[in-house]
Structure 1
Amino acid sequence: MASDLKDIFWKRLDNVQAGLLSADSERPIPMAPQADRDDKAIWFIAAKGSAADRAAKSGGEARFDVADPKAGIYAVIEGKLDEGSGEKLDEVWNAFAGAWFENGKDDPSATLVKMTPHTAEVWATENSLAFFYEVAKANLTSDTASGGDHGRLTF
């Protein structure tokens, strides 16, 4: 199940629009993840001088919390932050990031941060219709509802 859940994790993380990233025990801030299964990484476009940027420069630890019912995933992801390259910034840049940086990807305050996950606790939920079916079934039987797959992953 763990390998199936890991596959589900990467597929659904790719559909997450935002989560909360906290670096080096500082307050969490909303960030848009860019999942990269091949690189086993989660990329974030951050502002230079931010907690994420400072942690990336020092190889610090971070936590990314996701609660996205539309993507069908809830997760607590822990890992290490590192600096990203300009080439990768070009690859992951999008209109959402452009809304935060006046000069787009060439803005001097834009930087790329790479999170390499160590562990994650993941809840992969069913779609709304399946969830309501599970709730109705649980109320009509002695069973409890199934919320989908849950497990702890190591990367």
Structure 2
Amino acid sequence: MEKDLQNKEAIEKLKSMAEDIRFCMYTTYANEKIESRPMTTQQIDENGNVWFFTNRNTDIGDGSNQGEPVTLIYSEPKNNTYISVSGKAEIVEDEAKKEELWNPMAKAWFPEGKEDPNLVLLKVTTGEAAYWDATSSKMVVFFSMVKAVLTGTTPDGGDHGKLNLA
């Protein structure tokens, strides 16, 4: 069922789905090539901005692409949950935010801790998002598809829609 959400409701839906999945493919377009790399979501804030830690010595962490358009693709096939987020990326120098987001798992990537000189914050300001949420069990999805084949109808794909975060 199509269900577009607005403002706070849209932000809450994005937060609940993406923070549960946590990992996304961070996708950029440069030199006529689409590139994706896995990233761990640290937070989705009250405005729908997505926060990551990254290394200053990478192509996305060096700050040379401030305002670069990006797409974040979240996928949890086990639960039939998917999100696509489009926005603009920027490196943010904010020690208080770094402190707020720091967690023990980040130490695996930044062994020197939150004081690591190569640790930077990456913020994606969300422009638009879409979601597909069919959290039914695999058996329910299977029977929905069988019913659709037998009746000539379309299977129930669960909820989907656009998230207008403005």
- Common fold: TM-score over 0.5: yes
Alignment partner of 2:4 out of 2, 5, 10: 2
Q: Percent identity?
A: 26
Q: Confirm or deny: 8 A CA contact 2:129 2:162 kept in the other structure.
A: yes
Please give the TM-score of this superposition, normalised by the length of structure 2: 0.77
SS of the equivalent of 1:14 reads helix
Distance in 2 (CA, whole Å) between partners of 1:35 and 1:11 is 11
Equivalent position of 2:134 in the other structure: 125
Alignment partner of 2:102 out of 93, 109, 134: 93
Equivalent position of 2:157 in the other structure: 147
Q: Confirm or deny: 8 A CA contact 1:135 1:145 kept in the other structure.
A: yes
SS of the equivalent of 1:51 reads coil
Q: Confirm or deny: 8 A CA contact 1:23 1:55 kept in the other structure.
A: no
Q: Confirm or deny: 8 A CA contact 1:78 1:119 kept in the other structure.
A: yes
Equivalent position of 1:138 in the other structure: 148
Equivalent position of 1:43 in the other structure: 51
Report the RMSD for the aligned CA atoms in angstroms.
2.5
Tell me the number of residue pairs that the alignment of Structure 1 and Structure 2 aligns: 155
SS of the equivalent of 1:90 reads helix
Alignment partner of 1:19 out of 10, 16, 24: 24
Please give the TM-score of this superposition, normalised by the length of structure 1: 0.82
Q: 1:150 to 1:50 in 2, by over 3 A?
A: same
- By how many angstroms is 1:17 displaced? 2.5
Q: Confirm or deny: 8 A CA contact 1:120 1:152 kept in the other structure.
A: yes
Q: Please say which structure displays the higher CA radius of gyration.
A: 2
Alignment partner of 2:37 out of 29, 34, 45: 29
Higher relative CO (Cα under 8 Å, sequence separation at least 6) belongs to 2
- By how many angstroms is 1:149 displaced? 1.5
